[in-house]
Structure 1
Amino acid sequence: MKIVMIGPMPPPIGGISIHIKRVVQRLKEKGIACDVYNESHVLISQEGVYPIGSYKNFALKIPFMKGDLFHFHSISRTVRILLGFYKICGKKIILTVHGESLMDQIRSSNPIIRMMLLTSLRSIDHIVCVNEDNTNKLLALGFAHHKVTTIPSYIQPMESGDDDVTIANEVFDFIADSNFVITANGYIRFYQGQDLYGVDLLIDLLKELRIRKRGVRILFALLGVSSQNVEEQQYYEVLKIRIREYGLEDDFLFYEVENTELYPLVNKSHLFIRPTVTDGYGVSIAEALHSAIPSIASDVCMRPEGTNLFQSRNVEDLLLKVEEIMEHYSEHKQRVMSLSMRDYTTDLLDMYQQITGQLDLESKVIIDECN
């Protein structure tokens, strides 16, 4: 079986790119061939990873590519409309919907584009949604039950000491000098006019915590700084000014990530927060819980089991949740230590085998031994 993956690979690191990186690692572990056509504009010298370059030219090449299954992770509406054409060309096609982009596209498109998009997606072999809410929305639009599945995107990291080396010493010093470290991650982005990753909320949270407790620090692993547009750059500067005005320069650190995994930072923290205004699932939350780090997230979608939820954009509610965890930290720590975070690799492999009708090498060995 050969899988052709279309989507971003790190760098830059992000939820989708990390997911693809880890799926590829698991496939190779099991002896399954996998090529990745990389949507990110960074040249990666890795076997089996190829730059897309011009998407217009790449789109014309897909019908002639060899592969048993083409797994798309692209958020481009144009690419999603083309998936039906690739199905007509005889390709087996899966699309993973990682966030709210698809439902936003369906809602915002004019009637003709909307019809083209829905017709294309109904024709492909399968759609994977990372949360149940999007699955239910697609089913309500008339998609067949056997062609839409919820599979959260969490794949456990393959931990390596090399990941620590790429992190600046000042970051570890910042953590070491703290009594209580809160980590968060994301981009400087807007969604419907709001701070998508809730950075402003975290700054206000720290301001309130400073009044009540000393020694609390927030480390924000900031992705995609080099790709910020003008509006995002200006907002980033506004946030840094706010931090200075609140007197939080020593206690709030933007760590501008280039190609660093999150787990080494989360492992050294006390609490992880994901205050997004919209989301697909929150792989970083699952990663934190896997490392036995208590976690808080906004109530905008289904979150991993064990997550403490707060009302989205409500800093008072977030403050209450943080203080409750700090005051009863050993209990919360014990609770997350008892959790067993599920790795969803097997679910994806089962789907690959179901659609292609092929078994991976490991499954073949088990069957041969039984015979």
Structure 2
Amino acid sequence: MKVNIVGPLPPPVGGISVHIKRVKKQLISKGVECNIYNEANVENEAENVYPIHSYKLFVLKIPFLKADVFHFHSISLKMRILLGVYKLLGKKIILTVHGESLADQINNSNRLVKFFLLKGLRYIDQVICVNEKNTKQLIDLGFNAAKLKTLPAFIKPFEDKQDIEAIPNFVWDFINNSEFVITANGCIRFYKDEDLYGVDLLVELVNRLLKNSIKVSLIFVVLDRDSQNEKERMYYKQIKEKIKDNKLESNFLFYETKDTEFYPILSRSHLFIRPTKSDGYGVSIAEAIHYNIPSIASDVCTRPEQTILFKSGDLNDLYNTTASVIHNYEKYKRKLETYESTDYFQELYDTYKSISGK
């Protein structure tokens, strides 16, 4: 079997790119040929990784590529519209929808664009949604339930000594000198004019915890800093100034990464928080739970089992939830020690085999 995957591959590191990286490793371990057509435009021909460069040229190239299954993770509207055309040309097509991107495209497009988008996607072999909410949205739009699948994107990490060694010393120093380490990750991004990853909430949270004599340190792993636009760069600067004004420099660390994995830091922490204003699932939450790290997240979507939820955007609820976890920490740790997190690769692999007929 041969699988062509279209989407980003680290660097930069992100939920989708890490998922694709792990899928590729698992496929190779099973003797499956796997090519990555990389939206991040990093090339490694020896590893069958090819940069897309230009969408305009790449969409014309796809009909001439050979594979038993084409798996798209792209959020490009134009590419999603064309998936039905590729199916007509004999390709076997899977699209994974990570988060709200497809729902936003459907809701915000004009009638003509919406018509062609929905028509094409209804025709392809499989649409995978990472949460049940998005699957239901598509069923309500008239999609065939047999062609829809809810399949979270979590695949257990391949632990590698090099991943640990790649983390800078200042990060380990911060962790080693901290009494209680909270981790979080994400981009500096806006969604509907709000801080998508809730960095503002985390700064306020740390400030309030310290004022109430709850000693914590928080490391926020910043993804894809180079793609920040002017508004995001200005906001990032303002957040840093706020940290300085509140004298939080020794308790709040931004670590800007391009290609280091998150799990070495996550596994050394005490608590993970994901206060996103919109989300698909939260692969990092599943990863934290895999390492028996209690995890708090906003209630914006279906979360992994064992996630501790708070009301999205509500600082008081986030503070009370976090303080409760810290004060009852051993209880939360014991609960996770008896829980086995689910790795979803095998179900994805079975989907490839079913659709390819191999």
**1:239-318 to 2 correspondence within 5 Å?**
239-318=239-318
> Which whole-Å CA distance do the structure 1 matches of 2:180 and 2:88 have between them?
56
Who is 1:326 aligned against? 326
164-173 or 100-109, larger mean C-alpha shift: 164-173
* SS of equivalent residue, structure 1 residue 220: strand
Who is 1:97 aligned against? 97
**1:1-371 to 2 correspondence within 5 Å?**
1-44=1-44, 46-358=46-358
CA deviation after TM superposition for structure 1 residue 45, in Å: 5.4
* SS of equivalent residue, structure 1 residue 156: coil
> Which whole-Å CA distance do the structure 2 matches of 1:272 and 1:47 have between them?
33
- Contact 2:209/2:215, CA 8 A, preserved across alignment: no
CA deviation after TM superposition for structure 1 residue 107, in Å: 0.1
RMSD after superposition: 0.8
* SS of equivalent residue, structure 1 residue 238: helix
After superposition, the Cα gap between the structure-2 partners of 1:154 and 1:32, relative to the gap in structure 1 and judged at 3 Å, is: same
- Contact 2:41/2:50, CA 8 A, preserved across alignment: no
CA deviation after TM superposition for structure 1 residue 356, in Å: 1.0
Matched letter for residue 282 of structure 2: G
Matched letter for residue 164 of structure 1: I
> Which whole-Å CA distance do the structure 1 matches of 2:337 and 2:317 have between them?
25
* SS of equivalent residue, structure 1 residue 6: strand
After superposition, the Cα gap between the structure-2 partners of 1:214 and 1:26, relative to the gap in structure 1 and judged at 3 Å, is: same
* SS of equivalent residue, structure 2 residue 47: coil
Matched letter for residue 18 of structure 2: I
Q: Which runs of 4+ in 1 moved over 4 A?
A: none
5+ residue gaps, structure 2: none
- Contact 2:295/2:307, CA 8 A, preserved across alignment: yes
> Which whole-Å CA distance do the structure 1 matches of 2:48 and 2:92 have between them?
20
Q: Report Cα offsets for 1:217-250 as digits up to 9, x if no partner.
A: 0000001111111111000000001101111011
After superposition, the Cα gap between the structure-2 partners of 1:284 and 1:240, relative to the gap in structure 1 and judged at 3 Å, is: same
> Which whole-Å CA distance do the structure 2 matches of 1:345 and 1:43 have between them?
25
The count of corresponding residues between Structure 1 and Structure 2 is 358
CA deviation after TM superposition for structure 1 residue 258, in Å: 1.5
* SS of equivalent residue, structure 1 residue 288: helix
* SS of equivalent residue, structure 1 residue 11: coil
> Which whole-Å CA distance do the structure 2 matches of 1:323 and 1:214 have between them?
8
Q: Report Cα offsets for 1:48-78 as digits up to 9, x if no partner.
A: 1111111111111111111001000000110
Q: Report Cα offsets for 1:24-59 as digits up to 9, x if no partner.
A: 000000001111100003334541111111111111
> Which whole-Å CA distance do the structure 1 matches of 2:213 and 2:269 have between them?
17
> Which whole-Å CA distance do the structure 2 matches of 1:329 and 1:46 have between them?
47
> Which whole-Å CA distance do the structure 1 matches of 2:145 and 2:61 have between them?
31
* SS of equivalent residue, structure 1 residue 309: strand
> Which whole-Å CA distance do the structure 2 matches of 1:265 and 1:65 have between them?
39
212-221 or 73-82, larger mean C-alpha shift: 212-221
* SS of equivalent residue, structure 1 residue 254: strand
Q: Report Cα offsets for 1:322-371 as digits up to 9, x if no partner.
A: 1111111001001111111100011101111111111xxxxxxxxxxxxx
> Which whole-Å CA distance do the structure 2 matches of 1:53 and 1:267 have between them?
35
The percentage of counterpart residues that share the same residue type is: 53
- Contact 2:69/2:356, CA 8 A, preserved across alignment: yes
CA deviation after TM superposition for structure 1 residue 259, in Å: 0.8
Matched letter for residue 187 of structure 1: C
> Which whole-Å CA distance do the structure 1 matches of 2:175 and 2:324 have between them?
22
Matched letter for residue 149 of structure 2: T
- Contact 2:42/2:50, CA 8 A, preserved across alignment: no
> Which whole-Å CA distance do the structure 1 matches of 2:72 and 2:43 have between them?
20
Matched letter for residue 202 of structure 1: L
> Which whole-Å CA distance do the structure 2 matches of 1:176 and 1:45 have between them?
39
Matched letter for residue 86 of structure 2: Y
Matched letter for residue 85 of structure 1: V
Give TM-score scaled by structure 1 length. Answer: 0.95
CA deviation after TM superposition for structure 1 residue 214, in Å: 4.6
